[in-house]
Amino acid sequence: MEFRIKSIFLIPKNPEKSIRTIEFALDKVNVITGGSEKGKSTLIAIVDYCLGSSKCRIPTRKIRNYTEWFGLHITLANNQELIIARKEPGELIASGDMFMKEGTNLIVPNAILGNCNVNEVKTRLNNLAGLSGLNFAEEGSKIGFESHPSFRDFVSFLFQPQYIIANQSSLFYRTDQMAQRQKLISIFNYVLQAVDNTYLELKEELKQIDRDLNDLNKEIDKKTRSINRWIGQLRGYFNQAKEFGLLKDDGYPEENWGTLDYINKLKKVPEELNSLTSFQVSVDSVAITSNRISELTSLELNIAYDIQNLKHRQELLNRLIEGNSNYRDDLLQQHGRLKTSSWFNQLLSKHEEECPFCLSKTNNGKKYIAKLIKTNNEIISKGTQLNDNVTVLKGEQRKVSSQIRMLLTRLNEARQELSVLKRSGDEDNKRLNTINSIYRFGGMIETELSNYESYTKDTSAQDEIKKLEARKLAINKQINQDIIDNKVKKSKKIITDAISFYAEKFKAENHAELIQFNEKDLTLTFVSESGRADALYEIGSGSNFMAYHISTILAFHEFFLGRTKHPAPNFVFFDQPTQVYFPETDIEISEKSEDVTRVRRIFEVLNEAVKRTKNQLQIIILEHVGEYAWTGFENIIKVKRWRDDESDEDDRALIPNSWFD
């Protein structure tokens, strides 16, 4: 992404004072050198604040007390420019008032009135970076750290302040904070361009497909349940038809009759009504209906009783499973406390004749360790038994749940049939089975059969499911995890090769070993010829940490610039990397030749990075060392020297002396 800093500016609270502007070369290493407490490190805080930081880390007192607005003049692609300014927050953690202007050949205004808020600026920065608004979280899970990638995530690659540049535990800016660290880990495949906006769009489409499939399956389940409920109604309608003297040629229902058997027989009802002129009601049919009502009433009670017993059994199983699980968790905690017993056991085997701790001729230590080992073994045995118990209990739980579902289905069918038979008995007995009631019954049967046919013949939901499943299969082929993993490996290889190149320039320890980048821990690992793997923090020495920090950041920017339209800006700040050589001093000139060599090596590496990126990377380095460190490097320029012997009193620090008058 083309996004470099043309200038940083500060607008004073006193309108009579002049604006403070620091201009930078876009295609060079820009050096701001000076003494302590001159405001060099503040530049990182200013840039971060203007880019939407949630907290203002700009120092109070002199700087914030005299500054009304902090701003950036930024160059974009296609000769476009962007001016962003943010108001000094006063007593607040950060101000939401901001100013934003975009165009060509922009001029920094002498006075500013806010025209937007911080969220609008963040949205515009996300748009400029071409970032997707879609998140990484799976459907149904909490978004949390897997929210959509944002411009703010990429500031981790833009700043190396003093507390980070030689940090043994954190390679990237703000990753010492858990929230930013986890967010960066969650989007790292996006950072490596193993996944892109198209991938996120396809993932979002998959989520929508899953939602649609869930809705369609619910619709089909609802239809299936309705059809199953009809079985009970159909039995009732059949018995009612027999009571009306219809379907004489058909026997009474058998247990193995299915839905289609009842449907086919009930279809005859309208035909019989059209052909018959009189209806003979069988005494047997009325008796059979009455008997069926009694049977169904008794069946309903028995099923309800069985369900109640199973529910009670289900509750007991749930309590047993919960109790076993809690006990198992307690055992796991105890096992965790006794994990060292295995190490103690190894230690005992090496000291068979003496105490392994004090080397005295006593068995007291051995006896105590033996008790610990025995206790741990007992805990492991109990834990294994509990696992078996939970497995058996959960199997029984599933079996009981299945039985309850089956009985509920039978209960619903019985109640549907009973409802039909009781309704027909209550209504038609009052009307003494009049001809009109029989014809009304025939009309109702015709309507119900018509509804059933239209309901069962409608396959639109099934057809839509087939289409969605086919699309889901096609998407999964496009976002195949193996392809993503291969892209990640390829990207990491490019980055670690560049890290090795710069580390060799630094003459850093372990640079000849196999260097691996671990995106799950955001650190480097060094693998020796013997196969031993050491993390960055294990190799020691502040100078090594500094060398690998700079090497890693430069390698990532090389990678970013080698990708088309990568969302990371192409500038980076390094704050006092020489502190590892001069931790307690503020010297501008070193008389030790070895110090000069080591310091110049830092600038040599930065000069090389600008060349390797074909002057597309802007580097800003904040230092206290003098020009001896970079003299002779064609891509390095001095921007400012803030010391008390400067002839211009207003250029001895970030805040001009005249602002204090």
Q: CB–CB of 29/603 below 8 Å? A: yes
CB burial of residue 622 (10 Å; 0-12, 13-18, 19+):
buried
Averaged over 373-392, what is the pLDDT? 74
Q: Which residue has the tokens 């060094």?
A: 526
Q: Which residue has the tokens 């003093």?
A: 162
Tell me the percentage of the chain whose pLDDT exceeds 90.
41
pLDDT at residue 352, rounded to an integer: 61
Residue 22 forms beta bridges with which residues?
Answer: 8
Is the pLDDT reported for residue 579 higher than 90? no
Q: CB–CB of 217/209 below 8 Å? A: no
Q: What ranges do the domains of the chain cover?
A: 226-468
- Long-range contacts formed by 512-519: CB under 8 A, 24+ apart: 516/492, 517/492, 517/552, 519/185, 519/188, 519/189, 519/192, 519/488, 519/492
| Closest listed residue to residue 124, CA positions, set 98, 92, 158, 145 | 98
Q: CB–CB of 153/185 below 8 Å? A: no
**Structure token pair of residue 407:** 């009985």
pLDDT at residue 316, rounded to an integer: 87
pLDDT at residue 139, rounded to an integer: 45
pLDDT at residue 431, rounded to an integer: 44
**How far from the centroid of its chain's Cα atoms is residue 357's Cα?**
47
Averaged over 142-171, what is the pLDDT? 83
DSSP conformational letter for 264:
H
**Structure token pair of residue 643:** 């010391």
CB burial of residue 296 (10 Å; 0-12, 13-18, 19+):
buried
Condensed to tens digits (0 to 9), the pLDDT of residues 45-93 reads 999 999 999 999 999 888 999 999 999 999 999 999 999 999 999 999 9
pLDDT at residue 162, rounded to an integer: 93
CA gap 65, 67 in Å, rounded: 6
Averaged over 280-292, what is the pLDDT? 61
Is the pLDDT reported for residue 265 higher than 90? no
Is the pLDDT reported for residue 133 higher than 50? yes
Nearest 5°: the CA angle 460, 465, 469 is: 155
Residue 620 forms beta bridges with which residues?
Answer: 30, 573
Q: CB–CB of 75/114 below 8 Å? A: no
Q: CB–CB of 598/579 below 8 Å? A: no
pLDDT at residue 186, rounded to an integer: 87
DSSP conformational letter for 87:
E
pLDDT at residue 499, rounded to an integer: 96
Averaged over 466-470, what is the pLDDT? 90
Q: CB–CB of 159/150 below 8 Å? A: no
If one compares 568 and 429, the residue with the highest pLDDT of the two is 568
CA gap 492, 402 in Å, rounded: 50
339's CB contacts (< 8 A; 6+ apart) are 376
Is the pLDDT reported for residue 373 higher than 80? no
If one compares 339 and 553, the residue with the highest pLDDT of the two is 553
**Structure token pair of residue 180:** 């930013």
pLDDT at residue 176, rounded to an integer: 84
DSSP conformational letter for 629:
G
If one compares 299 and 517, the residue with the highest pLDDT of the two is 517
CA gap 34, 625 in Å, rounded: 7
**Structure token pair of residue 432:** 């003494």
Sign for the pseudo-dihedral over CA of 502, 540, 509, 523: negative
601's CB contacts (< 8 A; 6+ apart) are 505, 506, 507
Is the pLDDT reported for residue 143 higher than 60? no
pTM, full prediction: 0.66
Sign for the pseudo-dihedral over CA of 604, 606, 612, 618: negative
| Closest listed residue to residue 119, CA positions, set 154, 92, 95 | 95
pLDDT at residue 580, rounded to an integer: 87
Give residue 141's pLDDT band: very low, low, confident or very high (50, 70, 90).
very low
CA gap 217, 219 in Å, rounded: 5
CA gap 258, 442 in Å, rounded: 21
Averaged over 469-473, what is the pLDDT? 89
Condensed to tens digits (0 to 9), the pLDDT of residues 302-345 reads 888 888 888 888 888 888 888 877 877 777 777 667 666 666 66
pLDDT at residue 204, rounded to an integer: 79
pLDDT at residue 138, rounded to an integer: 46
What region does 614 belong to: left with phi over 0, alpha with psi -120 to 50, or beta? Answer: left
The Cβ of residue 500 has, within 10 Å, a number of other Cβ atoms equal to 19
Bridge pairing between strands 97-103 and 81-87: antiparallel
465's CB contacts (< 8 A; 6+ apart) are 213, 216, 217, 220
* Complete DSSP assignment for 632-644: T-TTEEEEEEE-T
Condensed to tens digits (0 to 9), the pLDDT of residues 165-222 reads 999 889 999 988 888 888 899 889 889 988 877 877 887 788 888 888 898 888 888 8
Averaged over 18-23, what is the pLDDT? 96
CA gap 579, 584 in Å, rounded: 8
Averaged over 95-105, what is the pLDDT? 95
Averaged over 264-271, what is the pLDDT? 77
CB burial of residue 102 (10 Å; 0-12, 13-18, 19+):
middle
| Closest listed residue to residue 14, CA positions, set 559, 506, 655, 450 | 655
Residues 571-598 as b or e (16 or more Cβ within 10 Å = b): bbbbbbbbbbbeeeeeebebeeeebeeb
